[in-house]
Amino acid sequence: MELAVKFVHEQLAAKTELPKFKAGDNVTVNYKIVEGGKERIQSFRGDVLKLQGTGQTATFTVRKISDGVGVERLFPFFSPNIESVQLNKVGKVRRAKLYFLRERSGKRARIKEKRIR
């Protein structure tokens, strides 16, 4: 089954490369939305909460605080609607899934930045 799935996606997938990022990183996702028949690009900046899945159906979740309300958005890695992803900050975290951020707010919800020498 895995071979067949891989074959199918190899035939269909045509994809621009996204930068490598992981949970805890701060990214800006620029994605296309159709508004009133016109296409435009909207950006969503936040912390990556998790990477999920394998292969062509993998997704990642980005969380941000918008007007004091936590907003999470899930993006498929290979979605043709993703125009680009910018890696803003590399976070220093000790887990792969940062669900604990959901219960935190304000200063406690900060992620330390990893210094790259």
- What character string, x for contact with another protein (CB under 8 A) and - otherwise, covers 28-47? ----x---------------
**Edge-to-edge strand list for the sheet holding 82-89:** 69-76, 59-66, 38-52, 26-35, 82-89
Residues in the chain: 117
Distance CA 85, CA 62 (A): 11
Which one, 26 or 61, has the nearer CB to another protein?
Answer: 61
Of 87-116, which residues contact another protein (CB under 8 A)? none
Candidate segments 2-10, 44-52, 64-72, 91-99, binder of another protein by CB under 8 A: 2-10
| Minimum distance, C-beta of residue 86 to another protein, in the bound complex (Å) | 20
Please return the burial class of 85, using the count of CB atoms within 10 Å of its CB with bins 0-12, 13-18 and 19+: buried
Contact status: 80 vs another protein (CB under 8 A): yes
Residue 98 CB neighbour total at 10 angstroms: 21
Contact status: 76 vs another protein (CB under 8 A): yes
Distance CA 53, CA 112 (A): 26
Tell me which of 5, 41, 58, 71 binds another protein, using CB under 8 A: 5
Contact status: 1 vs another protein (CB under 8 A): yes
Contact status: 54 vs another protein (CB under 8 A): no
